[in-house]
Structure 1
Amino acid sequence: MHITRRGPDTWRGPAEHFTGTVWLDEIAAPAAPSRLRMLNVHFAPGGHTAWHRHPHGQVLHVLEGEGLVQRKGGAAEVIRAGDTVWIEPGEWHWHGAGPRTFMTHLAVVEAAEDGTTAEWDCHVSAADYPA
Structure 2
Amino acid sequence: MAKHEDVKNGVIFPVGEKNEAFSQFFVGQSYLKPLIFDPKVNVNVGNVTFEPGCRNNWHIHRDGYQLLLITGGEGWYQEEGKPAQFLEAGDVVVTYDGVKHWHGATKDSWFEHIAITAGTPEWLEPVADEDYNKL
TM-score range relative to shorter protein: 0.7 to 0.9
- Name the residue aligned to 1:53: 60
CA distance in 2, matches of 1:28, 1:97: 23
Q: Give the paired residue count.
A: 118
Quick one: which amino acid aligns to residue 126 of structure 2?
A: H
Segments of structure 1 that go 5 or more residues without pairing to the other structure are 1-6, 112-116
- Name the residue aligned to 1:79: 87
Quick one: which amino acid aligns to residue 52 of structure 2?
A: P
Query: What is the CA distance between 1:54 and its match in structure 2?
Result: 0.8
Stretch of structure 1 that moved more, 73-82 or 10-19: 10-19
Q: Which runs of 4+ in 1 moved over 6 A?
A: none
- Name the residue aligned to 1:63: 71
- Confirm or deny: 8 A CA contact 2:76 2:103 kept in the other structure: yes
- Confirm or deny: 8 A CA contact 2:47 2:112 kept in the other structure: yes
Q: Which has the larger radius of gyration?
A: 1
CA distance in 2, matches of 1:69, 1:40: 16
Identity over aligned residues, as a percent?
31
CA distance in 1, matches of 2:125, 2:82: 17
- Confirm or deny: 8 A CA contact 1:76 1:129 kept in the other structure: no
- Name the residue aligned to 2:7: none
- Name the residue aligned to 2:49: 42
CA distance in 1, matches of 2:25, 2:44: 17
Quick one: which amino acid aligns to residue 124 of structure 1?
A: V
Segments of structure 2 that go 5 or more residues without pairing to the other structure are 1-13
- SS of corresponding position for 2:129: coil
Per the normalisation by structure 1, the TM-score is 0.83
Query: What is the CA distance between 1:72 and its match in structure 2?
Result: 0.6
- Name the residue aligned to 2:30: 22
- Give the structure with the higher percent helix: 2
Query: What is the CA distance between 1:127 and its match in structure 2?
Result: 3.1
Per the normalisation by structure 2, the TM-score is 0.81
